[in-house]
């Protein structure tokens, strides 16, 4: 485990609630608390596992870190707040994307089905105005190589790939902007066991090669024990326990 003087990711008293209408559109609104003052610290270069049953708030916390939903409290990366500051939402969203990216459960749903892999991997670089076209192509080739694919995959579309190859492309797309933090939300639950094991090993290799900080979310304690440095257990929107993976039997 890597140690730093200050945490790389800090989640400070983060709470979230959904508004529902259980009796339909004209029914009375009800507020359903999901996260209850969650506090979490992850060190630079650490693979941190967040485990819990479905509905406990794991994915909601991931969405808060990614800035996909509103929350109360504060989230920091490298002691710099990710909370909305003055400026346009688009600019804030672009700035956040340079620091934290996600890998989701279903790789097929996260890839544009009508574009080829080269276009998909180059798009984040175009959106941020990074590099010339030739430089972006070099970057795309490097990302494919990083996740164990070759440059021939640039011409393929997601429908031509296996589920494991799609997830490798999703990981490459998440890393193309070189974020410091990767949020992996159930990234192997849709894969078969052998392919899932390969993806877990890929996460470990990326962590070692890039000093990448990873928040790995799963309902499977065995997976997080295998991959992660430390583990937190979430129940009913709260962190109930934190421990090193080595201490989990």
Whole-number Cα distances in Å, 214 to 41, 133, 197: 12, 30, 17
The pTM for the full model equals 0.90
Whether residue 2 has pLDDT greater than 60: no
Cβ pair 158, 111 in contact under 8 A:
yes
Whether residue 20 has pLDDT greater than 80: no
Whether residue 78 has pLDDT greater than 60: yes
Rounded Cα–Cα distance for residues 60 and 110 (Å): 18
Specify the higher pLDDT residue, 49 or 88: 49
DSSP characters over 178-198: --SEEEEESTTTTS-HHHHHH
Rounded Cα–Cα distance for residues 93 and 3 (Å): 29
Whether residue 231 has pLDDT greater than 70: yes
Over the chain, what is the mean pLDDT? 90
Cβ pair 9, 65 in contact under 8 A:
yes
What pLDDT is recorded for position 6?
Answer: 76
Residues 107-127: tens digit of each pLDDT? 888 899 999 999 999 999 999
Q: Name which of 46-50, 165-169, 180-184, 244-248 the model is least confident about.
A: 244-248
Q: Name which of 36-50, 70-84, 85-99 the model is least confident about.
A: 85-99
Rounded Cα–Cα distance for residues 232 and 212 (Å): 19
What pLDDT is recorded for position 4?
Answer: 47
The stretch 10-16 carries a mean pLDDT of 95
Whether residue 184 has pLDDT greater than 50: yes
Band the pLDDT of 84: cuts 50, 70, 90: low
What pLDDT is recorded for position 217?
Answer: 96
Token code pair at residue 52: 């819990």
Band the pLDDT of 190: cuts 50, 70, 90: confident
Backbone angles phi, psi at 141, to 5 degrees: -60, -40
């Amino acid at each position: 485990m890597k140690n730093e003087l200050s945490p790389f990711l800090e989640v400070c008293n983060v709470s979230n609630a959904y508004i529902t209408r259980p009796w339909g559109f004209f029914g009375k609104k009800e507020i359903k608390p999901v996260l209850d003052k969650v506090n979490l610290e992850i060190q630079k270069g650490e693979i941190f596992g967040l485990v819990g049953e479905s509905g406990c708030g794991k994915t909601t916390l991931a969405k808060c870190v990614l800035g996909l939903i509103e929350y109360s409290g504060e989230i920091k990366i490298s002691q710099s707040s990710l909370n909305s500051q003055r400026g346009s939402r688009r600019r804030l969203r672009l700035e956040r994307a340079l620091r934290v990216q996600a890998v989701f459960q279903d790789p097929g749903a996260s890839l544009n089905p009508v574009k080829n892999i080269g276009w998909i991997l180059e798009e984040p670089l175009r959106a941020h105005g990074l590099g010339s076209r030739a430089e972006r192509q070099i970057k795309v080739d490097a990302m494919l190589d990083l996740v164990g694919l070759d440059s021939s995959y640039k011409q393929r579309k997601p429908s031509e790939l296996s589920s494991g190859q799609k997830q490798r492309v999703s990981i490459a797309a998440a890393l193309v902007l070189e974020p410091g933090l990767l949020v992996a939300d159930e990234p192997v639950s849709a894969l078969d066991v052998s392919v899932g094991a390969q993806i877990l090993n890929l996460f470990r290799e990326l962590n070692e090669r890039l000093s990448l900080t990873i928040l790995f979310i799963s309902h499977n304690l065995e997976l997080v024990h295998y991959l992660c440095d430390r583990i937190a257990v979430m129940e009913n929107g709260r962190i109930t326990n934190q421990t090193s993976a080595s201490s989990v039997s």
